[in-house]
Amino acid sequence: MISEKLQNAINAQITAEMWSANLYLSMSFYLQKEGYDGFATWMKKQSQEELDHAYNLADYLMKRGGEAKVDKIDVVPQGWGSPLEVFEHVYKHECHVSQLIDELVNIASEVKDKASQDFLWGYVREQVEEEATAQGIVDKLKRCGDHSGILYLDDKLGQRK
């Protein structure tokens, strides 16, 4: 059985993942409105990935005898500036999520739940990749220089599988 402290922390992370999904969906809508269909497609897929994280965390809780809950999900921002500003926000947000997941690992360690530590290390590794991907997109957008470069990157990111 999972400890109440860890269960509460994982439930908070489920809500955070759902907020992230809404954030990326909002970004997708904004980018599509601005004519960046490829960036919008990338964000929709990122939104789904965040929902998948929430589902996986909930499944894990239930397998361990816990109870998964969804708390109130706050409103997300609705507008940004350039694609660069959007992806800088993504990078900053992914760094924040990494801190949240690190704290989950710390709680699992504190309550001496090795199974949860092992499970959560998978999220730590995935977060490293998500941060690196966001930083890579920011770096590419900074190097684009002109609008044609941004449109090329928009097309490339729209091919995300």
Binding residues: 17, 50, 53, 94, 127
Q: Is 130 helix (H, G, I), strand (E, B) or coil?
A: helix
Q: Is 145 helix (H, G, I), strand (E, B) or coil?
A: coil
Helix 147-157 × helix 83-110 angle, to 10°: 40
Contact 141, 83 (CB under 8 A): yes
Give 93's contacts (C-beta < 8 A, 6+ positions apart): 20, 23
Helix 147-157 × helix 114-144 angle, to 10°: 150
Residues annotated within a binding site for Fe cation: 17, 50, 53, 94, 127
